[in-house]
Amino acid sequence: MGLFSPIVEPSGLRSQFPVLERVAYLNAGTDGPLSARAATAARAELERELAEGRAMAHFERRKELSDGLREACARALGADAADVSLTTCTTEGMGHVVMGLDLRPGDELLTSDEEHPGLLGALAAAREIRGATVREVPLEQIAEQVGPATRLVACSHVGWVSGSLAPAGLAEVEVPVLLDGAQGLGAIDVDVTKLGCDAYAGAGQKWLCGPDGSGSLWTSPELRERLAVSRRGYGNLEEANDGLEAVLHVDGRRFDAPSLSAESLACSLAAAEVLEEFGWPAAWERGVALAARLAETLAERGRTPAPRGATTLVSFPSEDPAAERELLASGGVVVRNIPGRQWLRASVGAWNDEGDLERLVGSLAT
């Protein structure tokens, strides 16, 4: 199947990703594989800029690409495009939410004990700058742990350490809920309405297979109007030339990154379109099913994975994770190790196949 034929079969999706011709790439939890179409789109923008320069039409093109990408992210989130902000990464979006709240000393931020530095950084900043307290509890108990001082619950939708899932009870809590969706968006079925959260921060470079420096933030209109926005400029003001009287966009654009390049936007958009053409439900189902199969096979081989949910991450024990990661890489199998734990983590996407999984399992030291 050619690179630009419609993608229907898993083999057609797989053929979009040149890296898979060489290696069993199981590392989308860090950075997803880049598709040929995404790279071509980025190159085309740069060629246009080379040939035409970067004047009015260039800025209109950036706007057109932003609009397209916002729509594409909204489809992956089950959301309205008006509630989506285009960011540079998950971390940026989480910072907007945490630091946008009117937090005072004594206010509590409730989180779990398996969070990524991208979220912990924002919580630590709120503790240092606003005097808020941060309480860490097990992820599975987080919904019941909300107390009278809790102003925000902030935790992973899918935990990065072992692929655990946030509890469904979070939909019922009465304070705002921010989900770190770095390992959720594009990987599993994300429907922000069903999740009952108030904000969902996602990465572009992971399960959407976009470039580094891409991400999105979904916010409910109710939460958005409560969040202060300290960074203002051309990107998020209605009429930037109104000087000091300029007002922020009411919709998700108020948290847009101040400057995103045409090549990055085009790369992100083409990357998402490849997955959309295969179909989001089909991509989610296939990734989760392949990951479950890998977990079973690892257990049969005496490498029982860490407790996980129905996600696309599989973490399994290794005596020397850094050394085994390097050994696997030298044999063409790409996974990562988890800092501070005796675990390797495989990230399984719809672009992978049984052959990738067999190559991983077959390469493990026994």
Ligand X SMILES: Cc1ncc(COP(=O)(O)O)c(C=O)c1O
Residues at the interface with ligand X (CB under 6 A): 89-91, 116, 118-119, 156, 160, 180, 182-183, 203, 215
Nearer to ligand X, 78 or 213 (CB): 213
Nearer to ligand X, 89 or 178 (CB): 89
Torsion of CA 53, 57, 63, 67, to 10 degrees: -110
Phi and psi angles of residue 319, each rounded to the nearest 5 degrees, phi first = -70, -40
- CA 276 to chain centroid, in Å, comes to 16
Retrieve residue 263's tokens.
């090549």
Rounded Cα gap, residues 317 and 228, in angstroms: 43
Rounded Cα gap, residues 57 and 53, in angstroms: 9
Q: Could you tell me the smallest distance in angstroms from the CB atom of residue 203 to ligand X?
A: 4
Q: Could you tell me the smallest distance in angstroms from the CB atom of residue 67 to ligand X?
A: 22
Which residues are registered as beta bridge partners of 317? 343
Q: In which order are the strands placed within the sheet that holds 199-203? A: 84-87, 215-219, 199-203, 177-180, 150-156, 108-112, 133-137
Retrieve residue 93's tokens.
């979006």
Nearer to ligand X, 132 or 208 (CB): 208
Nearer to ligand X, 119 or 178 (CB): 119
Q: Could you tell me the smallest distance in angstroms from the CB atom of residue 250 to ligand X?
A: 26
Strands 177-180 and 150-156: parallel
Three-class SS of residue 211?
coil
DSSP class of residue 165? B
Q: Could you tell me the smallest distance in angstroms from the CB atom of residue 58 to ligand X?
A: 27
Rounded Cα gap, residues 313 and 186, in angstroms: 13
The CA distances from residue 257 to 17, 93, 122, 214, 356, in Å, are: 28, 9, 17, 9, 36
Nearer to ligand X, 116 or 249 (CB): 116
Nearer to ligand X, 156 or 315 (CB): 156
Nearer to ligand X, 35 or 91 (CB): 91
